[in-house]
């Protein structure tokens, strides 16, 4: 469970955009390693050492300062504006890359494929288009043999820049039953309910760090903590490693004292699949399922036969058929699991006896058909299903939280649905 722990001094967490001093934090007493980052340890009255977060990445390279000029050009953000109050180094919110690699692959980070961000604004008009082009170019470059996977992953982490830093949230890394995870704990969180959040990235890219801010926005809207998983990624760890990790973390939450009916399984993209698959796996074993499933932009048809794969090919600025095929190959090749296997192809699965489930998707995304077909099939199986199209939005639109009014309104709606479904009182604005 989440308990309140008072510090013996002032704790300054996440200095970028959210610079308020935190005098107390709601964190788990079990297995906390540190608030996500390095730097500035603070001793709490329980004897735990909390470390203030400066880095959203586990691996922060020393090349940050060396690469600042290139990254300033590529991201359009002034490093001086992003420096913390106590350090004069380049902001770790921008990925570091070595000078040699930067020179070799400069076109990926600069010129017409730059993200074009400016501090305080995002996801409006040209800026949204620039971000979309950046990831479209990233997808095309993933097949180049000289471009290492770790570099691709580092660059892909930049998607967190689309999300505004939420205020009033504390973060702590934790070992959740053998799975790296990150607590996102809003002030005043309900101590009896929790979100189990799985990130995007096709099982290959992204992490709990790139999803941190988006997950925290949902947690704030729901008024409960969110445990964001850093599940194992392919191709190093193929199916079913990702489902196994979500399963392990779910049982870890039960071990902490949470009741199954007060846990909501939440995820987007591949995480939207994982949010549902967890419930199906538990059902098949005769175990208690989560009290709710929130599946956002879910990948439910790995055969890639949905109509929107073609009809939204020009409108989806993040995904392509080729990128989905690459993700699918990394995830399933060599496992003996067919694309039509109901364990990975939710449209071919038995969807009976699901928990109450909400499905959200962007109008312009490639996977719109996946969301619609899944919701229809799940409803026909007798489940309580809510489906919502977010007009003119892209795949995994929640990454625009804090910068896009329609996204923010949708997240508030999600939070209300989660609280109602888990049997919690409505939050007072």
pLDDT tens across 84-133, in order?
222 222 222 222 222 222 323 333 322 223 333 333 333 345 545 555 55
- Higher-pLDDT residue of 303, 94: 303
- The whole-number pLDDT of residue 5 equals 24
pLDDT in the model for residue 395: 94
Q: pLDDT (tens digit, 9 = 90+) per residue, 163-216?
A: 999 999 999 999 999 999 999 999 999 999 999 999 999 999 999 999 999 999
pLDDT digits (tens, 9 = 90+) for 324-341: 999 999 999 999 999 999
Q: How much is the pLDDT for 323? A: 87
Mean pLDDT of the chain: 74
CA distance 325 to 174: 33
Domain spans, the chain: 62-162, 169-421
Whole-number Å distance between alpha carbons of 38 and 33: 11
Closest by CA position to 192, among listed 424, 429, 31: 424
SS3 152: helix
Fold of 169-421: Rossmann fold (3.40.50)
C-alpha atoms less than 13 angstroms from C-alpha of 320 in its C-beta half-sphere? 13
The CB density around residue 382, as the number of other CB atoms within 10 Å, is: 11
């Amino acid at each position: 469970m989440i308990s309140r722990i008072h510090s013996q001094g002032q704790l300054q967490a996440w200095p970028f955009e959210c610079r308020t001093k935190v005098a107390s934090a709601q964190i788990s007493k079990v297995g906390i390693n540190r608030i996500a980052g390095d730097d500035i340890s603070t001793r709490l009255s329980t004897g735990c050492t909390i470390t203030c977060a400066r880095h959203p990445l586990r691996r922060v390279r020393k090349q940050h300062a060396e690469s600042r000029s290139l990254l300033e050009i590529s991201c359009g953000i002034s490093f001086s504006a992003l420096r913390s109050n106590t350090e004069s180094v380049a902001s770790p919110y921008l990925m570091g890359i070595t000078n040699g690699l930067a020179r070799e692959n400069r076109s990926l980070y600069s010129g017409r494929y730059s993200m074009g961000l400016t501090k305080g604004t995002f996801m409006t008009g040209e800026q949204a288009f620039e971000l979309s082009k950046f990831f479209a170019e990233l997808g095309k470059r993933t097949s180049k043999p000289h471009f290492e996977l770790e570099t691709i992953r580092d660059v892909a982490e930049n998607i967190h820049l689309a999300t505004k830093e939420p205020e009033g949230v504390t973060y702590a890394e934790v070992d959740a039953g053998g799975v790296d995870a990150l607590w996102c704990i809003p002030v005043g969180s309900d101590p009896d309910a929790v979100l189990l959040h799985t990130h995007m990235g096709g099982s290959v890219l992204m992490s709990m760090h790139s999803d941190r801010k988006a997950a925290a926005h949902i947690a704030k809207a729901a008024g409960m903590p969110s445990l964001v998983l850093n599940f194992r990624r392919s191709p190093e760890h193929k199916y079913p490693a990702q489902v196994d990790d979500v399963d392990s973390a779910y049982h870890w939450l039960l071990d902490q004292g949470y009741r199954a009916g007060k846990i909501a399984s939440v995820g987007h993209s591949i995480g939207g699949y994982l949010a549902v698959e967890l419930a199906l796996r538990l059902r098949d074993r005769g175990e208690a399922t989560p009290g709710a499933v929130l599946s956002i932009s879910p990948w439910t048809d790995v055969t890639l036969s949905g109509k929107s794969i073609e009809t939204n090919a020009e409108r989806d600025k993040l995904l392509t058929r080729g990128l989905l095929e690459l993700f699918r190959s990394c995830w399933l090749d060599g496992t003996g699991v067919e694309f039509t296997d109901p364990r990975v192809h939710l449209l071919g699965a038995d969807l009976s006896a699901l928990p109450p489930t909400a499905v959200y998707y962007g109008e312009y995304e490639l996977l719109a058909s996946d969301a619609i077909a899944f919701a229809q099939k799940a409803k026909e199986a007798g489940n309580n299903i809510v489906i919502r199209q977010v007009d003119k939005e892209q795949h995994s639109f929640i990454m625009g939280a804090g910068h896009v009014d329609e996204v923010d309104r949708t997240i508030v709606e999600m939070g209300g649905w989660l609280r109602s479904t888990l049997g919690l009182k409505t939050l007072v604005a």
